[in-house]
Amino acid sequence: MGAKKTKEKPPISRKAKSPKKTAKWQLHLFVAGMSPRSQDAIANIHKLCEKHLIGRYKLEVIDIHQHPLSASVNQILAVPTLIKKLPPPLRKFVGDMSKTEKILAGLDLRMEERND
């Protein structure tokens, strides 16, 4: 439900690659303002996706300062938080997304699926 809302009026749809088909990975990144940590997280996740999920993902970046309700709807506690909406199961990652291996494992990205 929250995803829909953010989809309808995508706040900062930075560098979100529109997928050719339906994107297999739908990711939402919640940040609080454009703090250095937010920027780090955005850069890190973008790098990761481009490297491993190219063409198969959709990333939305949401600033909870501007969309406080979305923080509540998506149960955001810590920021930055990345939510893997699809594929199921739903999973959350908090932090500046610097631990790539952990994220890759959490994204259910098997070795053979990686782009490298």
Partner 1 sequence: MPKAKVSTKILLQKTPTGIEGFDEITFGGLPKGRPTLIVGNAGCGKTLFGMEFLARGAMQFNEPGVMMSFEETAEELTKNFSSLGFNVNDLIARKKLHIEFVAVEPSEMEETGAYDLEGLFVRIDYALKSIKAKRVVLDTIAALFSGLTDETIIRAELRRLFKWLKSRGVTVIITGEKGIATLTRHGLEEYVADCVILLEHTIVERSATRRLRVVKYRGSSHGTDEYPFLIQETGISVLPITSLNLEHTVSKERISTGIERLDSMLDGKGFYRGSSILVSGPSGAGKTTVAAHFALAACKRNERVLFFAFEESGNQIARNMLSVGMKLEPFIKAGMLKVHAARQTAYGLEMHLATMHKLINEFKPKIIVVDPMSNMMTSGTVPEVKSMLVRLIDFIKVSQITAMFTDVGTFQSGETTGVGVSSLMDTWILLKSLETYGERNRGIYVLKARGMNHSSQIREFVITSKGIILIDAYSGADGVLAGTARVAQEALDKASKILRNQETARKHRESKRKKLSFEAEFALLKSKYENEEDELNRAILQETVGEDALLHERYKIAGLRSSDLIITAEHKGKRKHGR
Residues that bind partner 1 (CB under 8 A): 30, 32, 37, 41, 44, 64-65, 68-69, 71-72, 75-82, 90-99, 102-103, 106
Taking Cα atoms as reference points, which of 37, 79, 36, 85 lies closest to residue 58?
A: 85
Please state, in angstroms and rounded to a whole number, the distance separating the CA atoms of residues 91 and 75.
12
Which CB atom, from 55 or from 72, has the smaller least distance to partner 1?
72
Which CB atom, from 23 or from 82, has the smaller least distance to partner 1?
82
Please state, in angstroms and rounded to a whole number, the distance separating the CA atoms of residues 55 and 20.
7
Query: For residue 103, what are its two tokens?
Result: 């994220």
Least distance to partner 1, CB of residue 23, Å: 21
94, 64 in Cβ contact below 8 A? no
Which CB atom, from 55 or from 69, has the smaller least distance to partner 1?
69
Least distance to partner 1, CB of residue 18, Å: 26
